[in-house]
Amino acid sequence: MSLADSTKTEALGRLDELPRARLGHAPTPIDAMPNLGARLGRARLYVKRDDCTGLAFGGNKVRQLEFYLGEAVARNADTVLITGAVQSNFVRLAAAAARKLAMDCHIQLEERVPKTDPLYRNSGNVLLDRILGATLHSYAHGEDEAGADRRIREIAAELEAEGRRPYVIPLAPGHAPLGALGYVVAAREIVAQMEADSLAIDEVVVASGSGNTHAGLLFGFRALGCPVTVTGICVRRPAEPQRERIVSRCREIAELLGVKPMVEDGDIRLLDDVLAPGYGQLNAPTIEAIETAARTEALILDPIYTGKAMAGFIRRARQAGPGRSLLFVHTGGTPALFAYGTALAEALSGETADGETAGGEMAGGETAGG
């Protein structure tokens, strides 16, 4: 019996008993990245294609939504409510998941990113939210998770008074980490793939935002006895406050699954050196990472999450010794690329369609757009 099979029932506790709506395509492939590997050093590089989870352009939030929407279905809800940044992938996928399950969706967009250009406000995920027919609300602040949750619960109460059966996905921490369970499942999937393909991965690198993906993976690997290092690349807040989130999330996952805590605080690795100038704002390493991934492996990344995570991955790959194997988790986010089209087009190096050289002079550390 394999590691994943032998331990899943006991070590992952109630994981397979909790309500789950099957929304995504899984397992997603693990592909080798030989061209990027040759460019960066002597480590072997791989990518977990969670941008290919299938639903409405895919991404990590599909796995997370399987548990939220599972609970929504179990409660007989007919309307999902969720808050996110203007270009949130989570809210786009919540709207898509709601449609698959014949529900309505209300989205509250908060002002987390200081960008006013029309592309940012109307294209990418916002366009998809509209195509999916979600009802959009706005919240004027970007750093007030508790206030945004209060407001969306008021909207839910109004819907309830009209006879609807709302289900709220909260923004602030402090609720059961249902989303993280999607990445406990993904950790089990990766362990099974490593065994089936005789892959010895030493380090997994992933974007760390709300922390559900990071905490779920780390918890899942440890619960399954897999010693792989998990490095979270901070995309939302600096490493120290993010560490507190991951610590709490890992403890809450253990409580939810009814198993003992599996993650030591010292096991939480975070890098925040590609975060500046802040959430959703471009910088030179991110633009370089977007170009490099596309031009070596035809991997399309986004400016908010996976571009920054790849910038961190590139740094880790350059530092890694020969024979080390690193896995990048591509968490999706591709639609946001189009919302950042103006800033990206200005920043990209190389020839434009009319033969001009476009913005190839960005110096390291300089910011583009935002």
Ligand X SMILES: Cc1ncc(COP(=O)(O)O)c(C=O)c1O
Residues taking part in catalysis: 88
Q: Which of 211, 220, 280, 369 binds ligand X (CB under 6 A)?
A: 211
**Measured between alpha carbons, how far is 337 from 256 in angstroms, rounded to an integer?**
35
Which residue of 83, 210, 283, 286 would you call a contact of ligand X, by CB under 6 A? 210
For β-strands 203-208 and 229-234, DSSP reports them as: parallel
Question: Binding to ligand X by residue 182, rule CB under 6 A?
Answer: no
Least distance in angstroms from the C-beta of 31 to ligand X? 18
Q: Which amino acid is at 244?
A: E
Residue window 317-336: x/- pattern of binding to ligand X, with contact defined by CB under 6 A = --------------xxx---
Q: How many residues bind ligand X (CB under 6 A)?
A: 19
Cβ 216 to ligand X shortest distance, Å: 8
Q: 366 and 347 in contact (C-beta within 8 Å)?
A: no
**159 vs 179, beta carbon nearer ligand X:** 179
- Within residues 47-106, the interface with ligand X by CB under 6 A covers 59-61, 89-90
Query: Which residues contact residue 354 at a Cβ distance below 8 angstroms, ignoring those fewer than 6 apart?
Result: none
SS3 229: strand
Binding of ligand X by 213 (CB under 6 A): yes
**Of 72 and 235, which has the nearer Cβ to ligand X?**
235
Cis peptide before 238 (omega within 30 of 0): no
Report the C-alpha gap between 118 and 25 in whole angstroms: 33
The least distance separating ligand X from the CB of residue 209, rounded to whole angstroms, comes to 3
Report DSSP letters for 164-175, one per residue.
--EEEE-SSSSS
- Of 231 and 306, nearer to ligand X (C-beta) is 306
Specify which residues 327 forms β-bridges with.
46, 204
Q: Which is nearer to ligand X, 3 or 172 (CB)?
A: 172
Sheet holding 135-139, edge to edge: 135-139, 104-110, 79-85, 166-169
Positions in the binding site for ligand X (CB under 6 A)? 59-61, 89-90, 207-214, 302, 305-306, 331-333
